[in-house]
Amino acid sequence: MTTSDAVTSTGTILLGPIQVRGEVLAIRRSGDYFLLAFAAPGVPERTLPGQFVALAVGDATTSMLLRRCFSIHHVDPAGSLGGTVEIVVDAHGPGTRWLADLKRGDAVDVVGPLGRPFSLPKDPVPTVLVGGGYGSAPLFTLADKLRARGCRVDMILGAASESRLFGVLDGRRRATNLVVTTDDGSQGERGQVTDVLGRILDENGGQVIYGCGPMPMLAALAKVAEGRGISSQCAVEEAMACGVGVCMTCVLPVTGNDGITRMVRSCTDGPVFFGDQVRWDAVGTVPDDCLGSPNAGRS
Ligand SMILES: Cc1cc2nc3c(=O)[nH]c(=O)nc-3n(C[C@H](O)[C@H](O)[C@H](O)COP(=O)(O)OP(=O)(O)OC[C@H]3O[C@@H](n4cnc5c(N)ncnc54)[C@H](O)[C@@H]3O)c2cc1C
Ligand code: FES
């Protein structure tokens, strides 16, 4: 181990991130998104499901100083040019649009893998994986790991409409059972992922829910898990400036095993958290009972 490596609470050794200058191998559309594959030697071997990469955007004179963070969708240590990484880009702002305009052979500056991954259950229990929009990106490698452990994997993918879904074909290949929901009914069942979650849990006896997607979706699935006395792990997407634990822009209130709420950094302590430990109703605030809150003891 080196000084940048770490051990998770479940004993998994995390190899620290590296910075590499990679090269774009392919970019193609997938619904409303762009699937960007690039060579990033050394990153795949270190990556576990749920971790993310931070990419520099813009040219040498750009005003876009901050790296942009993306869940790692897929890695291949034996890919061309010595290891490849795939991410899913929702091009909506200056940084993501710049990435979507990249061409094969262009250079990319990558730091990763960052953050803490999903924990795998010790026993081969049934699981349900829930992805909202491009939030499903990290769930497919997770599904592979879970199945390799003997876990049953059911998957729910949801989005506002068909073009905002990601990975339906991948999901069909990997999950025992895949349910798709869209708000407008353009594909699968009309409604939201949480409308069908209870039914899927009843059917497969799910013991762990894994989720990645918008915060309200994560809050809702954590509530469902708590109500059933089962576990949930949620990969959150708080706005991140540095991505490496320095700036504190990504903090959210999380209650530890000691019952104390602390503002923790989602880039280094997350992005994956146990759903019952996040204070979902207080995200974006510093609750008065949080350790170090300026209002502590006033209420
Ligand atoms: C862990 C993680 C995983 C993600 N995975 C994906 C993914 O798989 N696919 C995808 O498309 N997107 C993903 N995102 C979101 C993606 O990082 C943002 O959409 C992207 O940074 C937007 O960049 P932009 O320049 O296009 O847009 P803008 O919205 O203009 O973002 C500009 C920059 O400002 C930062 N920023 C915005 N608000 C704040 C704030 N309050 N404090 C500090 N910094 C701020 C943003 O993080 C970004 O770096 C992920 C984000 C995180 C944190
Ligand atoms: S993004 Fe800077 S500390 Fe998390």
Query: Please, are residues 275 and 281 in contact by the beta-carbon 8 Å criterion?
Result: no
CA angle 49, 53, 57 (to 5 degrees): 155
Query: Please, are residues 126 and 205 in contact by the beta-carbon 8 Å criterion?
Result: yes
User: Under CATH, to which class is 127-282 assigned?
Assistant: alpha beta
CA distance 101 to 54: 17
Closest of 165, 72, 79, 158 to residue 113, by C-alpha: 72
| Cis before 113? omega within 30 | yes
- Give the pLDDT confidence score for residue 12 in this predicted structure: 73
Question: How would DSSP label each residue in 167-206?
Answer: -HHHHHHH-SEEEEEETTSSSSEES-HHHHHHHHHHHHT-
For the residues 256-282, what does the mean pLDDT come to?
95
Distance 95 CA to ligand 2 centre (A): 18
Distance 207 CA to ligand 1 centre (A): 31
Q: Do domains 6-114 and 127-282 have the same CATH topology?
A: no
- Give the pLDDT confidence score for residue 299 in this predicted structure: 53
Structurally, at CATH architecture level, domain 6-114 sits in Beta Barrel (2.40)
Q: What is the model's pTM?
A: 0.94
Residue spans per domain, the chain: 6-114, 127-282
CA distance 268 to 35: 25
Residue 3: pLDDT band (50, 70, 90) is low
The CA–CA distances, whole Å, from 232 to 43, 130, 166, 211, 275 equal 27, 10, 21, 8, 5
Average pLDDT along the chain? 93
For ligand 1, say whether the CB of 247 is within 6 Å of any of its atoms.
no
For ligand 1, say whether the CB of 239 is within 6 Å of any of its atoms.
yes
Query: For residue 130, what is the DSSP state?
Result: E
Tell whether the model's pLDDT for residue 297 goes beyond 70: no
For ligand 1, say whether the CB of 32 is within 6 Å of any of its atoms.
no
